[in-house]
Every structure is written in C-alpha cells, then in structure tokens.
Amino acid sequence: MGNSKDQGYLADIAMALHEAMPHTLLAIGPQADEVFAEYVRANPSAVITHVAEGDWLDQVSTAGRFDFVFISGVLEYLPKRNACTLLASLRDVHAKQLYALAPIGKAWLKHSSFWEYNDLLGLGMEGVNVYAQNGLPLALLKFDLRTYKTTPEWFNSKYWARPELWD
C-alpha cells in the first residue's frame, strides 16, 4: 500500500469503477456520491442511489443489492457496534463490491468511534491504500465477493475419499 495526498482515494475508486464497470451504485455518506460523478457522466446508464444521512442501517436494509457500494463519512460517527453491523450488512447482503473510506487512529477529533486498520481487516476487508488527510491516516479498504475467498486447490474431488482404494 502506498501513500497519497488528500483525495488520492478518488483515483483508486475511479480505477476500481473502470475495472468493474458496475451498473448499480450505492453511495453512503454526506458526500459519498461525489466519487461516482465522473463515472456516471461517462456511463449514463449507471444507476446511482445516495443515502446521505439518517438511520444508515435502516435505509440500507431496504435498499436492495448493488454492483458497487462506497461508504465514507459514516463509520466514525456511529457507535462501533452499529458501524460493524452496517459494514457486515453491506458486505453480506447489499454489495458485490464494497469500498469503505475510514479514518484510522484516535487522533481524529469529534468521532463517535475510532478505527484501527485491523478492525476493518477483521471484517473481511482488504486494504487498497492509505492516504494522509490533514496529516492523519485515512484508509480505503474493499470487499469483493468475487475474490474474497478463492477455493483452494486441495478442495476438489480429486483429493476426496477414493472408494476404489477401499477393501
């Protein structure tokens, strides 16, 4: 993972959008929809849903399933348990690809919960990059259902019980 300046995550999200070419997009957070602006201009058939504020978990629970979900400016303002529940719901039910932008560490002011990088890895997320915002770490992590848990080579029938070898 490299380091970038403020807003460097926009380039990483743009690259992910270009690779995925999603049709349905969900933006969660006050300005989360801004990351999709250029993509939607270039792909007018893309459908974006924006949940800017309110009861995040309640609104997401009825939102359906999306090809690409981005959440920013939300996790740190929720109690940690609620934020974990929201991320798990997005990961398991609502997103084929989930990208979360989260401030890392306890130096951030006015947050309800504080996140360590390992907290997000523990939720099945994979690191994309870490950026600096006002000198503080801001991490972009992803969960991609297609690549989350690949089937290991040993888990196929050629390694299973071979009845022809039994007496």
What length does the chain have?
167
pLDDT at 59: 79
Residue-wise pLDDT tens digits, 78-124: 889 998 999 999 998 899 999 999 988 887 878 878 788 888 888 88
58-67, 96-105, 126-135, 155-164: segment of lowest average pLDDT:
155-164
Whose CA is closest to 149, among 130, 126, 127?
126
For the 3-165 domain, the top CATH level (class) is: alpha beta
Backbone angles phi, psi at 131, to 5 degrees: -120, 170
Domain borders along the chain are 3-165
Separation between Cα atoms, residue 143 and residue 146, nearest integer Å: 9
Side-by-side strand order, sheet with 95-103: 3-4, 126-133, 136-144, 95-103, 66-72, 24-28, 47-51
Residue-wise pLDDT tens digits, 16-53: 999 999 999 999 998 888 899 999 999 999 999 988 88
